[in-house]
Structure 1
């Protein structure tokens, strides 16, 4: 079986199509940010371990929520790096790999937006929970604004999911 010949492109088409590779440094930069978050996580974990004898339960909970927050942001980075690269730059060709994420096989720009919105809600929820645990040290204005911002994230995510659902059921072409 002979390989399929590559279709001929006009020079302008080749330049436009090739311009997607300009995103590669952006994804590499996000990988560097991921490394920074790993270092930050390890420092915070070491800080928790070294201060453990003098910490109260609420302090431990706040520090652990901080660690969870770092993990969730890191998960968000992975979704953007892998999903964005796969969607907008080039295929990763990992089909059948035992570690292939389930969501990657059907990722598109809309699904990525919904997943990102849900991750942002998760991160916001952790921040809001930290705020409520530490409520005695904060003013009412801070509590109200953090709650309003969290609700705005939820409304945005619901709107994005609703629009995606309408588009997928109406037969309208999906945005990529």
Structure 2
């Protein structure tokens, strides 16, 4: 009886994660504000910017969009995996991936998003190469490669683990 009560308590503690997901939705609003500011900057400087500056502005918008998408993946998948299932019976436009991403899939989507964000940052640096030292660019490439290799190792580990569980 004591064990069952303790297990119920532990299970109820999953709701302690709900404020974390609420905080991430606030962070999403902050990203939206940042996106609107960046969009305003790109639009107001469209006629005086060089092609490279315009591309850098657009890449900043893409970067913010990827970051927002990453937050949505973390919020929805994390909530569904660790707190409670969503009732999506009344939602005709419910995303197909919702409810199907397990923790392993979530990790892979996260690392994929991080690699994409890192790649955009690297591309922005290369387009503005005159403002970066060789050392800075080397660090950026090195950090990006760490993310790429980490993602590949995670995917390989998950694949090997899944193959091991199937046997």
TM-score, length-scaled by structure 2 = 0.94
1:99 alignment partner, SS class: coil
- Equivalences, count: 164
Q: Which residue of 2 aligns with 1:89?
A: 83
Give 1:95 deviation, angstroms: 5.2
In the other structure, the counterpart of 1:53 is 47
Paired position in structure 2 for 1:35: 29
Determine if contact 2:77/2:99 at 8 Å carries over to the other structure. no
Q: How does 1:64-143 map to 2 (within 5 A)?
A: 64-94=58-88, 97-143=91-137
If the length of structure 1 is used for normalisation, what is the TM-score?
Answer: 0.89
Deviation at 1:10, TM superposition (A): 2.0
Which residue matches 1:149?
Answer: 143
Gaps of 5+ in 2: none
Extract unaligned runs of 5+ from structure 1. 1-8
Aligned to 1:63: 57
Between the aligned partners of 2:89 and 2:140, the Cα distance in structure 1 is 41
- 1:67-122 Cα distance to aligned partner (Å, 9 max, x none): 10000000000000000000010001215833222222321111100000000000
Residue equivalent to 2:12: 18
Paired position in structure 2 for 1:168: 162
